[in-house]
Structure formats: structure tokens, C-alpha cells
Structure 1
Amino acid sequence: MTFSFQQAVGRVTRAAVVALPLAVAPALGSPFGAQAETRTTDKLLDLLGVPETIEIMRVEGLAYADELAADMLPSSPGVTWQKTIETIYDPDRMEETVRAGFADSFLSRDVNPDTLETFFGSDLGQDIIRLEISAREAMVDQAIEDAARAAYLDRAGATEAEDARLAQIKAFVEANDLVEANVVGGMNTTIAFYQGLVDGGALDMSEPKIIAEVWGSEGETRTDTMEWIFGFLMMAYRPLSDDDLMAYADVVSTPEGKAMNTALFAGFDAMYGDISYALGRAIAGQMDVQDL
């Protein structure tokens, strides 16, 4: 049986497009310099809507954990399970992990966040963040997610001349490597889930076999990820003009924008990896309890 842990993808990962965390950086150089760097990162990530994004991911995660229990446990879990998953999806801890991962990545690069702060602090930048968060929240509803995917698939074969907006979004996705980064993040998250099951005693499987099993579904994961990302972006950016979307694409294509995107993936991948491993251990623990 293949256990599939679907990150609340984007796995953006669905989130990297959305944007997020506050940075809690280790001291670097003088304490005054370190504090200034941390404040600068905090300002950028506040503009990116971190708490709202984390809360949506928490809602997604709690629902997913219940589906996981229904699929994998022989009987319905009780109050202990609910307390466990609420602890796993603690929003403060989730945000702290993302912030730290973002800080480690972003602050290690020789980039100045001023351009990013200026853009995301503008009316257009804030409009984009609101649209992304609104679309992410809407897609918690499976019917809306299905409709977004279908809307993309209806247009997926169009040429640039036939669908200029789709061509813009394709260029945006390719420039930011969103599909590949989300696929890799999703696979690593699934591996962490398997490892949690193994360490919890619910599964006897070597690490090489886990990796082979998970990456055996890479094609299916890639297709699913692509559909989600394009459905999400097409819905989120529908109200934007072509010029506004181009301005956004220009900013995230700069060295600063690429450093931000890489750091977002680093932060969210760390968060999802921790959560996925903890879910595997929790499922294993419930199996032991229900076997008694």
C-alpha cells in the first residue's frame, strides 16, 4: 500500500506563491546588526501575510489528519487523537518553524529586501497577497478546488496566441520553478510520513525502500501538483490586469525575489516535514492503542 501525504500544496508550496514567515534569525555578527536584519525580515514577511496563510494551512491539515485516520485506523480515534493533531498543527509552532527556515535561507544570501518591501507594501502588492490568500482559503472547499482544476484543464492546451493570460501564468510558474520545487517538497514530506510510521513501529521498511516507494509515484504527484498550482494561480490572479501580473512577475524574477521564493520553500518544507513525521508517529501510536 502506498501512503500519500498530500501537502497542503503547493506544497505552495502552494504556499511559496502565497508568501509567509517571520524570521527568527540566530545572532550574526554584532547584536545590533543581527537585530536589524531580523526586523527587516519581519517587515517583509508581515507584508506577505504569514499568520493568515498559516491559519489556512492549519484548517487544511486538521481536515487531512482526520481523513488519514479514517483511511488508516481500524476504528474511529477518540479525544486523544484530536488533542494530538491539534498539538501537531499548533499555529505558533508552525509559524516559528517557517520563520526560522526562511531566515536561515534568506539571510544567508547577499540580497537587499528593500525592493521586495516596497513592492509588497504597495497597493498592488497588498492586493496580490489578498487575492492569493483568498484563493487559498476558497480552495479548502473541495468543490471549489475541483472547479479551479477543471477551469485550468479546459484551457491547458491553448497556445499563447489563444490564451495570453495562461501564457503569462506558465511563464510565472517556470521562472519560479514552482512545479519542480513543489514536487520535491511533496515527495520529501511523504518520506517523512513513512519515517514516522517506521519509528512508531507501524511499518517495517528500510529508508531506501521508502524512497523508492515514494518516488515511484512521482509522475502522479507531478500531474496533481501542476493542476493545483495552475488552478490556484488562474483563480487568484483573475482580477489582475496583464500589466499588474507582469509587474509582479518582474519583481519575483529579480535576485531578491528568487532568494525570497527559495527561502519560502525552505521554511514551508521544514514545517511540512516536521508535521508529516509527527503524523506518522501519531498514526502508529493510535494503531498500538487500538490493538490493545
Structure 2
Amino acid sequence: MTKFFYEFSLTPSAYFELFTDFALELTQEAIEEIECSDFSEWILYNASLPNLKKATIVMRMEKDPSGIIEDFQSFAKQISSRMEEEVGFAYKIEKKKNQDWIDNYKKAITPLECGGFYIHPSWYENHPKLKNIILDPALAFGSGHHATTFMCIELLSQLDLKTKKVLDVGCGSGILSLVAKKNGAIVHMCDTDSLAIEESKKNFSLNNEIIDKIWEGSLKKVENQTYDVVVANILADIIKMLYYNLCCITHKGSVIILSGILEIYKDSVIEKFNDFDLCEVLHKDEWVALKMIKR
């Protein structure tokens, strides 16, 4: 263990969840979400000084993070362009004496109750009355706390999945597949990221569940079969690109659950999926999730 570490705190002016996802992907480090109220020594980028408590991302690393500030600036510019509004952030970097901050991070990870499930890390006890899913937070994969994942769990849990064939597109940590599996489904999973495949396998093993089928790659690898339920928690642009493939792997009456969609892109996704009837729309933060049935 090194003698010192760096603590990089960043407070976005808007779109906190997007910045969180980007921080996970960029740093490949465990992060913590806190509320901060003292910004007296912070540096501003395209943002005014917050005057109230504000959601803050805290990243801890052994190397000086100064070099990634430009990455966050470029990301803020991209969001500003796409959302047609000025988006910036405040940040500070502190060099601190090392301590067991992994333990502190663990203390910050709290269990989640959603859709009749109790999703918790391995250092928590099982819930006596809810269905338990053990999921230790990984570097870049969801544990259910993200709004998009939370809504998918809610929508999946409303369905009768016993013996139904379910496909999880972009499985990540495998959390949605675990929800479907524990509700009696036959579950297939895929992701274009090899790390996601390994993470899903690890989490199924941790929960004493067997994976029915998993592969690295896209929907093009699905051959001569259709699914009763397909869940895709990815991004709106990718979801629209997968429209034809999703039509091919579903049948009349199939349910698709689409999430990872920012509110401003909701209508474009609904319009694209004109072979499906819209049944339900969930809203959480700036995100939406759609439940649709194929005609």
C-alpha cells in the first residue's frame, strides 16, 4: 500500500448520473457518491459556485488525477452540445495520507430494496422476507442503484417469468438476469464487453444460480429462436440501432423493456419501435424506461 493517495472530488452542474457512469468508465476505480456543501477551495469549469448541498462524485486513486481533468472537460462539452445547454462542474484534488478507504467505501454501499428483491453486497446479511441477490460493487457495472437499472428491476418483477425465455442485452453485472432467473425464467445473456461476461459469471456463481446461456457479442449471434421477454438497459442511440434485431428475435406478444434512455430521447425511441405497443413508461431522475409488447 502506498503512503499517499489522491482524492478527486467532482460536482457536476447537471446530469449527475451521466458523469458518474463516465467516471467509472474513465478511472476504472471504485467511486463514492456523497453530498457536499463546502466549495470554498474548488475549481470551476463552465459552472457557478454551488450555494447548496450538491451531489458529488469522489474518486480515490494512487496516481495524480490531474491528467484526466481534460477528459471531464471534453465530456462536459459533449453533453452541453447534445443537451443544448451549458453543463460544467466544480472539482478539487487532495493528496491524503493513506488509510483503509476501501473499508470506508464499503460502509458507503447500502443495500437496495426493489421489486421484491433485497440487493446487497456480501458483507450484509440476507433479508429474511425478500428475495436476496448478492452483488459486490464492481468497477463499471451496476448494482441496481442507478435509475435505469432500478426501473428495469421494477418492470421485470411485474411479469410472470416462470419458464419464460428472457434475453438480457448488455448484461453488465448480470443483475437483471439474476432478477429474471430468481423469478423462474430461462435466461440468456450477452454483452460486447468481455469484462461484463466475466462479472456476470462471477455474480451468478455468488448467488448459486446457473447461467442457461451467455455469449460475448451482439444480437447477431442469436440463431433461429425468439424470446418471450427482452430487456435492454443500454443507451437510446444503440437501442434504436438494434430495432431490426429486436424485431427478429421477438414474436407476437413478446415484451421488451428498454432503458438507459434520457427523457429527451423517449419519443424518438417510441417512434422507432412502431411494431410494438407502448404499455408503461417509468420516470426516475432524467431517465425513462419503456415496457412494450409486440403486435
TM-score tier (shorter) = under 0.3
More helix by share: 1
- TM-score of the two chains, using structure 1 as the length reference: 0.25
User: Of Structure 1 and Structure 2, which has the larger fraction of its residues in strand?
Assistant: 2
